[in-house]
């Protein structure tokens, strides 16, 4: 490999992003050394990862699993910690790269902690930019932290964006697979089950993002994420449905050129980019053979069946706390759908009603974000109860 050994911490190492990152690190143990790994409750998998990578620190966010983790790692050199303090310790320890792979707003504080120490961050946890984008950017300006997008769409744009000449860029185009229900008539969508919703046609992902892909809220969250990462207004971010998930996103320039990044739908490609940036690393990936695919298709989104993208556009236009409200309501709605308490089409309805009920406000600090997040969750839970 063409770069000096890097130290890496993975927040959320037991998730899909975390496991894919570990897979690449394991294949290149001479290039990476692991500082910290964290999970919420998946003690056995975390302990296995710590042993395989010889990590210095293992953290389980749920305190009640601390003893289990200690037991699972007895005889190992790794330090063991738990809870909020442990997570923040993992994020603040010196490392060349922090992979932010926790799901949901739970990732905000650890990611912000890494930003505050000026770290280079592989950002998978899009929700932290959605619910606190302005605060994250102002901390990045103070500390010089670097965000490397892991989301395949933003990673694609990052690879073709002209950061030195942003005025040459007319718009960016985020591609979306459309999820498992892209071809389904609206009348059938009310009765889809959580099992059907998490069966993404192209990607293997955690449950929450899989449901977000099925409602296309994932694209809404990504639209807000792209606004903060590339400093573009909402009108300059387009969404294009591309069911094959081969063109990961595109940048359209003022002279009519459109540049895109292509690859097989495997998150290890953008993760490998992030791990090795600013260089590149090879790994034994399946080669993309366009001739075998024959053709690639593209469609405009359908706002009647998938209203979530427009909800995200509205939240972004309102600004202030509205994206935080959207994110919190969505997390509650998705959780309730997965538990069987809410039907599929109810997810975007809960988000809409919560946004409609709550007044937006300015977010001056992280406490404001948490206050809005809690209030939005409370309102969304009430709406779920009466449905
Ligand atoms: N999966 C993908 O292909 C993909 C692609 C692009 C972006 N992303 C984004 O990457 C993030 C992670 O997605 P994922 O699919 O990898 O999720 P996932 O498979 O559900 O994994 C989530 C990780 O976060 C940990 N976690 C969950 N709740 C936590 C809490 N309250 N405190 C601390 N840690 C917690 C989990 O630990 P346990 O295992 O103990 O529960 C796990 O390690 C999401 O923001 C997602 O939108 C994912």
Report pLDDT digits (tens) over 270-321: 999 999 999 999 999 999 999 999 999 999 999 999 999 999 999 999 999 9
Q: What band does 75 get if pLDDT is binned at 50, 70 and 90?
A: very high
Q: How far is the CA of 122 from the centre of ligand 1 (A)?
A: 13
Task: Give distance in angstroms: CA of 290 to centre of ligand 1.
Answer: 31
Instruction: Please state whether beta strands 258-262 and 247-253 pair in parallel, antiparallel, or not at all (unpaired).
Output: antiparallel
Cβ of residue 122 lying under 6 Å from some atom of ligand 1: no
3-state secondary structure of 319: coil
Q: How confident is the model at residue 1 (pLDDT cuts 50, 70, 90)?
A: low
Supply the pLDDT for residue 34.
98
Can you read off the two tokens belonging to residue 211? Answer: 């449901």
Query: Which pLDDT value is given to residue 346?
Result: 97
Q: Where do runs of H (alpha helix) occur along the chain? A: 16-27, 43-53, 66-72, 83-92, 108-116, 126-143, 152-160, 186-189, 194-197, 207-215, 217-230, 268-276, 290-293, 308-318, 322-338, 346-357, 366-386
**Which of 44, 59, 64 minimizes the C-alpha distance to 10?**
59
Please work out whether the CB of residue 229 comes within 6 Å of at least one atom of ligand 1. Answer: no
CB 5 within 8 A of CB 248: no
Task: Kindly state the tokens that stand for 234.
Answer: 């909402």
Please choose, from the candidates 158, 24, 27, 168, the residue with its C-alpha nearest in 3D space to the C-alpha of residue 97.
24
* Ramachandran sector of residue 95 (left: φ over 0; alpha: ψ -120 to 50; beta: rest): beta
CA 18 to ligand 1: nearest atom: 16
DSSP category for residue 98: E
Sequence spans of domains, the chain: 6-150
- Rounded to two decimals, the pTM is 0.97
- At 165-205, the pLDDT tens digits run 999 999 999 999 999 999 999 999 999 999 999 998 888 89
For the domain 6-150, what is the CATH superfamily, name and number? NAD(P)-binding Rossmann-like Domain (3.40.50.720)
Map tokens 């972004």 to a residue: 316
Give the integer Cα–Cα distance in Å for 119 and 108: 15
* Amino acid 3: pLDDT: 76
Span 244-261, average pLDDT: 98
Atom number of ligand 1 nearest to Cα 124: 10
pLDDT of 226 above 70? yes
Instruction: Using CB atoms within 10 Å of the CB of residue 294, give its burial: 0 to 12 exposed, 13 to 18 middle, 19+ buried.
Output: exposed
> Is residue 171 within 8 Å of 232, Cβ to Cβ?
yes
Q: Is 312 in the pocket of ligand 1 (CB under 6 A)?
A: no
83 lines ligand 1 (CB under 6 A): no
Closest residue CA from atom 45 of ligand 1: 125
Strands 32-39 and 146-149: unpaired
């Amino acid at each position: 490999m063409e770069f000096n050994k890097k130290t890496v911490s993975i927040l959320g190492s037991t998730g899909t992003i975390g496991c894919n990152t570990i897979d690449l690190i394991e294949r290149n143990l001479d290039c990476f050394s692991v500082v910290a790994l964290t999970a919420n409750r998946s003690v056995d998998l975390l302990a296995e990862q710590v042993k395989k990578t010889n990590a210095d620190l293992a953290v389980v966010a749920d305190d009640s699993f601390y003893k289990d983790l200690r037991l699972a790692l007895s005889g190992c050199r790794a330090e063991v910690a738990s809870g909020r303090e442990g997570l923040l310790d993992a994020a603040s320890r010196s490392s060349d790269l922090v992979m932010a792979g926790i799901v949901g707003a739970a990732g905000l504080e650890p990611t912000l902690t890494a930003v505050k120490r000026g770290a280079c961050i592989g950002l998978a946890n899009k929700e932290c930019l959605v619910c606190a984008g302005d605060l994250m950017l102002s901390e990045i300006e103070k500390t010089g932290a670097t965000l490397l997008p892991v989301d395949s769409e933003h990673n694609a744009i990052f690879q073709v964006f002209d950061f030195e000449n942003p005025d040459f860029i007319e718009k960016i185009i985020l591609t979306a697979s459309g999820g498992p229900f892209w071809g389904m008539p609206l009348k059938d969508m009310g009765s889809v089950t959580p099992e059907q919703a998490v069966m993404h046609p192209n990607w293997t992902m955690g449950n929450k993002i899989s449901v977000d892909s099925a409602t296309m809220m994932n694209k809404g969250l990504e639209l807000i994420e792209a606004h903060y990462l590339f400093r573009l207004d909402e009108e300059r971010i387009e969404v294009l449905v591309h069911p094959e998930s081969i063109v990961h996103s595109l940048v359209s320039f003022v002279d009519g050129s459109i540049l895109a990044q292509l690859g097989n739908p495997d998150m290890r490609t953008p993760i490998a980019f992030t791990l090795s940036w600013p260089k590149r690393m090879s790994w034994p990936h399946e080669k993309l053979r366009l001739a075998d695919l024959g053709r690639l298709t593209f469609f405009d989104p359908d706002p009647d069946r998938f209203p979530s993208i427009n909800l995200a556009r509205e939240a972004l236009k309102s600004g202030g706390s509205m994206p935080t409200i959207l994110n919190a309501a969505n997390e509650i709605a998705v959780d309730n759908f997965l538990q069987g308490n809410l039907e599929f089409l109810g997810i975007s309805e809960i988000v809409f009603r919560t946004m409609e009920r709550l007044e937006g406000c300015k977010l001056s600090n992280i406490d404001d974000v948490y206050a809005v997040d809690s209030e939005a969750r409370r309102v969304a839970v009430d709406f779920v109860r009466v449905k």
